[in-house]
A = this chain, B = another copy of it.
Amino acid sequence: MADVAHLVSQAREGNPRAVARLISLVEGAAPELREVMATLAPLSGSAHVIGITGSPGVGKSTSTSALVTAYRQRGKRVGVLAVDPSSPFSGGALLGDRVRMGEHASDPGVYIRSMATRGHLGGLAWSAPQAIRVLDAAGCDVVLVETVGVGQSEVEIAAQADTSVVLLAPGMGDGIQAAKAGILEIGDVFVVNKADRDGADATARELNHMLGLGEARGPGDWRPPIVKTVAARGEGTDEVVEALEKHRAWMEEHGVLAERRLKRAAQEVETIAVTALRERIADLHGDKRLGALAERVAGGSLDAYSAADELVEGLTGEK
């Protein structure tokens, strides 16, 4: 068993190995998981959690890397959680994914973590919030959560993040795709990357039009900005950071940050509870108590409903 208190104290002192070890513990549902989470609970909540999402090919990793550079220039500590179920780097992911973000690998103010989701019980929805909490408690001012794919994973990430960035690129028909995927509703900041290519202005206009088609906004409402970038050259990244900080300030001013975090916590608790109940259901087969109850039902001394009540109470009353 790992010494959790020691690991947490080392992580808070900036030891990258301790951070990596803690994420491994929560990701792998180690026996220490509960102790880690209980220890981290009062230490987290200060990081700005930013989700970065978009279709393959829009430049998510490049944009994430550019954002890391921009935040580092501002003296912020940054955590990156790259959630990519199809990545060859996932699974045995190491702290410091040199292949993807080489320039930050030796920066002690940056933690980079690839996270596998395949085959995990509960998947991303289950393990990502725990990893975010580790990075938050370890002193990151900003946690960037990068997801690949469309649909469900975007929605899940939006639920984990304080602020959601949706990335598009010109000439990919992304505008319409985004609308279909319901991505417009989750974006707090939109970025049209590869803005030096033909069609960038058209994509931005189309996006602007579609955003305007939504409900009428009141004076205090957030109007998602559209920022054009060329992430590979770092162009526009400062504007993205500016938009992200404005969004955070707006959320704090209007109580939205607390509201989102409350919703996120509810979702997290629910996911864990559902997973626990599902595991118990799966364990019903071969349960000795079930056998004893079945004998009484078969013998007529107990009815099946009362037996089921006893089983459910027995399953859930224990740890």
Q: A34-B306, A269-B311, A312-B277 are in contact. Are A41 and B285 (CB under 8 A)?
A: no
Is B269 touching A273 in the complex (CB atoms < 8 A)? no
Is B261 touching A305 in the complex (CB atoms < 8 A)? no
In the assembly, what is the distance between CA of A270 and CA of B303, in Å? Answer: 13
Kindly supply a per-residue 1/0 record for chain A positions 140-179, scoring 1 wherever the CB is within 8 Å of any chain B CB and 0 otherwise: 0000000000000000000000000000000000000000
Q: A272-B308, A304-B269 are in contact. Are A294 and B37 (CB under 8 A)?
A: no
Q: A311-B273, A316-B313 are in contact. Are A38 and B306 (CB under 8 A)?
A: yes
Kindly supply a per-residue 1/0 record for chain A positions 307-319, scoring 1 wherever the CB is within 8 Å of any chain B CB and 0 otherwise: 1110111011101
B contact residues around A210 at 8 Å (CB): none
A211 within 8 A of B: no
In the assembly, what is the distance between CA of A217 and CA of B34, in Å? Answer: 52
Is B265 touching A297 in the complex (CB atoms < 8 A)? yes
CB distance from A136 to the nearest CB of B (A): 10
Of A290, A304, A305, A319, most B-chain CB atoms within 10 Å: A304
A28 within 8 A of B: no
Is B284 touching A297 in the complex (CB atoms < 8 A)? no
Is A312 touching B276 in the complex (CB atoms < 8 A)? yes
In the complex, how many residues of chain A place their beta carbon closer than 8 angstroms to a beta carbon of chain B?
A: 57
CB distance from A284 to the nearest CB of B (A): 5
The stretch that binds B, out of A42-50, A74-82, A193-201, A234-242, is A42-50
Is A300 touching B45 in the complex (CB atoms < 8 A)? yes
The listed residue (B40, B278, B297) touching A303 by CB distance below 8 A is B40
Which chain A residues in 36-65 approach chain B with CB under 8 Å?
37-38, 40-45
B contact residues around A43 at 8 Å (CB): 300
Is B281 touching A269 in the complex (CB atoms < 8 A)? no
Is B300 touching A129 in the complex (CB atoms < 8 A)? no
The listed residue (B42, B129, B298, B319) touching A304 by CB distance below 8 A is B129
B contact residues around A2 at 8 Å (CB): none
CB distance from A120 to the nearest CB of B (A): 16
In the assembly, what is the distance between CA of A41 and CA of B264, in Å? Answer: 46
- Besides the known contacts A34-B305, A41-B301, A276-B309, 11 further A-B residue pairs in the complex with CB atoms under 8 A apart: A38-B305, A262-B291, A265-B295, A265-B307, A266-B290, A268-B297, A269-B304, A273-B311, A273-B312, A277-B277, A313-B317
* 22 A–B pairs (Cβ distance < 8 Å), ordered by A: A34-B305, A37-B304, A37-B306, A38-B303, A38-B305, A40-B303, A262-B298, A264-B298, A266-B290, A266-B293, A266-B297, A269-B293, A269-B294, A270-B311, A272-B304, A273-B281, A273-B284, A273-B308, A277-B281, A312-B316, A313-B317, A316-B317
Among all A-B residue pairs, the 7 with the closest Cβ atoms: A316-B316, A266-B294, A272-B308, A265-B297, A41-B303, A37-B303, A265-B294
User: CB within 8 Å of B: which residues of A?
Assistant: 33-34, 37-38, 40-45, 129-130, 258, 261-266, 268-270, 272-274, 276-278, 280-281, 284-285, 290-291, 293-295, 297-309, 311-313, 315-317, 319
